[in-house]
């Protein structure tokens, strides 16, 4: 990727992110299926003010600043019995698992976009700290803290995307673009594109519009579909109909040639 293209990709990523399971957690005997996280529009006025009126809220920082923690507190107010479960740390981890499995996109964003942004920033700033590669599968074993952060972040995004979250699928797309680190295989990009192409989510953000700021992303390359064999394309098309991201991740090939990507 040329320097100018890298800078344009960085600008796209920053602008995007600035504008943006098990039913029982392993540590706590609590079911988020039976005790659903209240939707934003279901919060009473007092709770809404508590959740939103924080100077530290930002989807540019991990967990959206104070927002995620305040939503956890709001959840404990809705379900006082949850507040009596385990330790604060265990409740925090349980709530995160609940959001991964059941949370709406406004909460999912806090566990995906800022973490993806941090991953890109870390790769730009300290590339030598990373040794693993991801293209839909990992190559190499994590040996550094940077590697472990990368694996943890990508696995979380995968889990959220695999349940059909449009925010999760979008963040899978945003993972792409770091040479020798996070260049997604064409079959995975094709799955993500076909999964979002007819959604209001993608149309409103112009994610798949080659004439938009996203036009430089590999998912909008005119050569993308040509990278798939007819057999693989048929497999992916069937997976899209089923909403089966896991089938694609489990069968995608090794990280390979990226020459098809536009320079």
| Predicted local confidence at residue 106, as pLDDT | 82
| Predicted local confidence at residue 259, as pLDDT | 83
Sort 111 into a burial class: Cβ within 10 Å, 0-12 / 13-18 / 19+: buried
HEC string for 212-249: CHHHHCHHHCCCCHHHCCHHHHHHHHHHHHHCCHHHHH
| Predicted local confidence at residue 23, as pLDDT | 37
Per-residue pLDDT tens digits for 51-95: 766 555 466 788 888 888 999 999 999 999 999 999 999 999 999
Sort 52 into a burial class: Cβ within 10 Å, 0-12 / 13-18 / 19+: middle
| Predicted local confidence at residue 20, as pLDDT | 47
Question: Is the pLDDT assigned to residue 149 strictly greater than 70?
Answer: yes
Q: Using an 8 Å Cβ cutoff, are 91 and 77 in contact?
A: no
**Longest alpha-carbon distance in the chain:** 56
Residue bearing the bigger pLDDT, 192 or 10: 192
| Predicted local confidence at residue 261, as pLDDT | 85
| Predicted local confidence at residue 260, as pLDDT | 86
CA distance 100 to 91: 14
| Predicted local confidence at residue 13, as pLDDT | 57
Question: Is the pLDDT assigned to residue 6 strictly greater than 60?
Answer: no
Task: Please report which confidence band the pLDDT of residue 246 belongs to, taking 50, 70 and 90 as the band edges.
Answer: very high
| Predicted local confidence at residue 123, as pLDDT | 96
Per-residue pLDDT tens digits for 216-241: 899 999 999 999 999 999 999 999 99
Per-residue pLDDT tens digits for 93-121: 999 999 999 988 888 999 999 999 999 99
CA distance readout (Å), 79 to 35, 36, 73, 177, 204: 8, 10, 10, 42, 35
Comparing 9-23, 51-65, 132-146, which segment has the lowest mean pLDDT?
9-23
Task: Please report which confidence band the pLDDT of residue 24 belongs to, taking 50, 70 and 90 as the band edges.
Answer: very low
216: which 2 tokens?
A: 């430089």
| Predicted local confidence at residue 169, as pLDDT | 97
- Scanning the structure block, which residue is given the tokens 């709770």? 47
Q: Average pLDDT over the chain, rounded to whole? A: 87
CA distance 99 to 154: 16
C-alpha of 243 from chain center: 16
HEC string for the chain: CCHHHHHHHHHHHHHHHHCCCCCECCCCCCECCCCCCCCHHHCCHHHHHHHHCCCCCCCCCHHHCCHHHHHHHHHHHHCHHHHCCCCHHHHHHHHHHHHHHHCCHHHHHHHHHHHHHHHHHHHHHCHHHCCCEECCCEECCCCCHHHHHHHHHHHHHHHHHHCCCHHHHHHHHHHCCECCCECCCHHHHHHHHHHHCCCHHHHHHCCCCCCCHHHHCHHHCCCCHHHCCHHHHHHHHHHHHHCCHHHHHHHCCCCCCCCCCCC
| Predicted local confidence at residue 5, as pLDDT | 54
Question: Is the pLDDT assigned to residue 160 strictly greater than 80?
Answer: yes
pLDDT mean over 150-166: 97
CA distance 231 to 65: 45
| Predicted local confidence at residue 21, as pLDDT | 37
């Amino acid at each position: 990727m040329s320097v100018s293209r890298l800078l344009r990709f960085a600008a796209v990523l920053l602008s995007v992110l600035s504008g943006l399971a098990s039913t029982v957690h392993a540590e706590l005997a609590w079911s988020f299926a039976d005790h659903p996280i209240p939707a934003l529009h279901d919060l009473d006025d007092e709770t809404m003010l508590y959740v939103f009126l924080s100077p530290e809220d930002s989807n540019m920082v991990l967990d959206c600043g104070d927002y995620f923690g305040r939503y956890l507190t709001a959840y404990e107010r809705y379900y006082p019995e949850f507040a009596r479960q385990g330790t604060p740390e265990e409740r925090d981890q349980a709530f995160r698992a609940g959001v991964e499995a059941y949370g709406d996109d406004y909460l999912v964003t806090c566990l995906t976009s800022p973490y993806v942004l941090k991953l890109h920033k870390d790769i730009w700033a300290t590339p030598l700290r990373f040794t693993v590669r991801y293209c839909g599968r990992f190559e190499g074993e994590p040996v550094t803290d940077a590697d472990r952060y990368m694996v943890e972040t990508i696995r979380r995004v995968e889990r959220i995307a695999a349940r059909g979250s449009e925010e999760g699928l979008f963040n899978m797309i945003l993972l792409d673009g770091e040479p020798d680190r996070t260049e997604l295989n064409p079959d995975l990009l094709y799955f993500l594109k076909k999964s979002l192409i007819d959604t209001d989510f993608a149309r409103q953000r112009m994610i798949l519009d080659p004439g938009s700021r996203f036009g430089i992303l590999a998912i909008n390359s005119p050569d993308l579909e040509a990278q798939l064999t007819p057999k693989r394309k048929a497999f992916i098309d069937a997976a899209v109909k089923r909403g089966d991201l896991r089938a694609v991740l489990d069968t995608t090939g090794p990280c390979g040639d990226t020459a098809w990507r536009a320079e």
